[in-house]
Structure 1
Amino acid sequence: MRLDKMLSNMGFGTRKEIKKFSKMGIICVDGKTVKDTSQHINPEKQQIEFDGERVEYREHVYLIMNKPQGVISATEDLVEKTVVDLLEYDYRHFHVFPVGRLDKDTEGLLLLTNDGKLAHELLSPRKQVAKTYYAEIEGFVTEEDARRFEQGVTLDDGYETLPAQLNIKESGPRSKIELTIYEGKFHQVKRMFQAVGKQVVFLKRIQMGPLELDPALTLGEYRELSEQELLLLKG
């Protein structure tokens, strides 16, 4: 990898800026000042220093966020605030993106990464990665609804969903449920309840595959995945 590309990827500036920094003598490779930042280096085997501090190169980052309502699952938007806008600069320069999406009015677990391979694995329909939601429903949710979900329901566009597990936590004028689905169609949870004549009034994703929402994360907060969580996710 070119030295200027590596430093640019790590957020130290544009390649043009990094070239200026090299002329200032603040970039070192293996203890030697470097003037030519176009040279190729191995960041895993060589020691890179910028202004006296060692640069720890990372290709990929993995973040778990408790997405709040009111922001969209996108990397940029001219009008709406995005989940990437919630990140500190130290993470933005990695060019992370949300893995899948949560509706603007839906909160909860959202994974952000720049690892395209992992994102593809988690989103691939053939993988059928489980996604569990907590929801509050206007009206009484019944065991008959649970049986219909277990068989798969027909959405408004004629699509037949895969079987889903509906766990009724509390049935009443405003029912509380948990629902596990294995696909990610547009507004799927809301449309599944519409198919049985009910309306979702609150929706929160609490799990994706083996990854559970960290209860210590308040709305809008995020952290890097632990090594154990990452191993489980890559399973």
Structure 2
Amino acid sequence: MMNKAPRHGLARVLSKHGVCSRTQAAQWILAGRVSVDGNVVRNPEFPVVRGQHHVEVDGQALDGAARLYVMLNKPRGLVTTAKDEHGRDTVYRCFDDAAMPWLAPVGRLDKASEGLLLFSNDPEWAARITDPLRGLDKTYHVQVDTIPTPELLQALHAGVDEDGEWLAAKRVTLLRTGARNAWLEIVLDEGRNRQIRRLLAAHDVGVLRLVRVRIGGLALGDLPKGGWRLLTEPEAVALAAR
């Protein structure tokens, strides 16, 4: 017996296709902006089989949405979410005048962190970028509140058990030192929550600034803080190619 194609709720189909968030999809559906096989559907849980049903939003075919790949130089103080329950400013403030379709963050940076953050409306591409099995290198420049010794650099690379979770850096390099602090370059090949801050805290080292400067072969470069640009096709392909 052949397996039947899976059915999913209409709102989930829209969000998984990358055209909007699931909450926004439900709002569009309730407003009568979405049709299935030519009929307006107002039920966000209406069952849809991808590839068998023709879905349109505002008369435009769902499969016709242009795929966009965007890099942002995230400023410190913004949270990586579409809407914050505490009313804090989010990364979407940087796109206020962009007139772009819905884009989802590809990975995250916490509120206090800065630098390279990716966005896309292509869920399959995003899944490849964030797949932990691929081990895509992410490079950070981190200002710490101490002058690191060679022993500390070695310990950060060797790793530490922090509340039952093993935290380690793939590479750690001392970039420069000041009178009382220093800058490190730290490369990770995994994406644990607040990994660098927790790893350093386990060695009683505080973080003054944390800037992501590279993902795979894509560098932040001279993109201004709060600025964004579209990735070129070769850049987008190269990130997902491994």
- Measured against the shorter chain, the TM-score band is 0.7 to 0.9
Partner of 2:111: 104
Q: CA offsets per residue over residues 52-98 of structure 1, 9 Å max, x none?
A: xxxxx64311110000011111122240111123213521xx22111
Which one of 166, 170, 178 corresponds to residue 176 of structure 2? 170
Q: 1:71 to 1:39 in 2, by over 3 A?
A: closer
TM-score between both structures, scaled by the size of structure 2:
0.70
Partner of 1:228: 234
Quick check: 2:33–2:58 contact (8 Å CA) kept in 1? no
In the TM superposition, residue 176 of structure 1 has moved relative to its aligned partner by 0.8
Q: Which residue among 167, 171, 174 is the counterpart of 1:161?
A: 167
Q: Is the 8 A contact 1:130 1:181 kept in 2?
A: yes
Aligned residue identity for 2:216: G
Specify the alignment match of 1:90 in structure 2: 99
Q: How does 1:56-205 map to 2 (within 5 A)?
A: 58-78=65-85, 79-87=87-95, 88-91=97-100, 94-155=101-162, 157-172=163-178, 173-205=180-212
Q: Within 2, Cα distance between the matches of 1:176 and 1:64?
A: 24
CA contact (8 A) 1:84 1:96 kept: no
Q: Structure 1 pair 90/158, CA: closer, same or farther in 2 (3 Å)?
A: same
Gaps of 5+ in 2: 1-13, 21-27, 36-56
Structure-1-length-normalised TM-score:
0.72
Partner residue of 1:218 out of 215, 221, 224:
224
Higher radius of gyration, 1 or 2: 1
Superposition deviation, residue 131 in structure 1? 0.7
What's the RMSD between the two structures over aligned residues?
Answer: 2.8
AA at the equivalent of 2:145: E
Deviation at 1:223, TM superposition (A): 0.8
The residue aligned with 2:23 is none
CA shift in 2, pair 1:162/1:189, >3 Å: closer
Q: In 1, are the aligned partners of 2:34 and 2:58 still within 8 Å (CA)?
A: no
Q: How many residues align?
A: 191
Q: Answer yes or no: is the 8 Å Cα contact 2:168–2:199 preserved in 1.
A: no
1:134 partner amino acid: H
What is the rounded CA distance, in whole Å, between the counterparts of 1:83 and 1:40 in structure 2? 27
Q: Give secondary structure in 1 for the equivalent of 2:161.
A: coil
2:115 alignment partner AA: G
Long gaps (5+) in structure 1: 20-36, 44-56
- Give the SS at the match of 2:156: helix
- Look up the SS of the partner of 2:197 in the other structure: helix
Counterpart-to-counterpart distance in 1, 2:202 and 2:34: 57
**Matched residues in 1 for 2:140 and 2:150: separation?**
18
Counterparts in 2 of 1:154 and 1:59: CA distance versus 1, 3 Å: same
Letter in 2 for 1:181: L
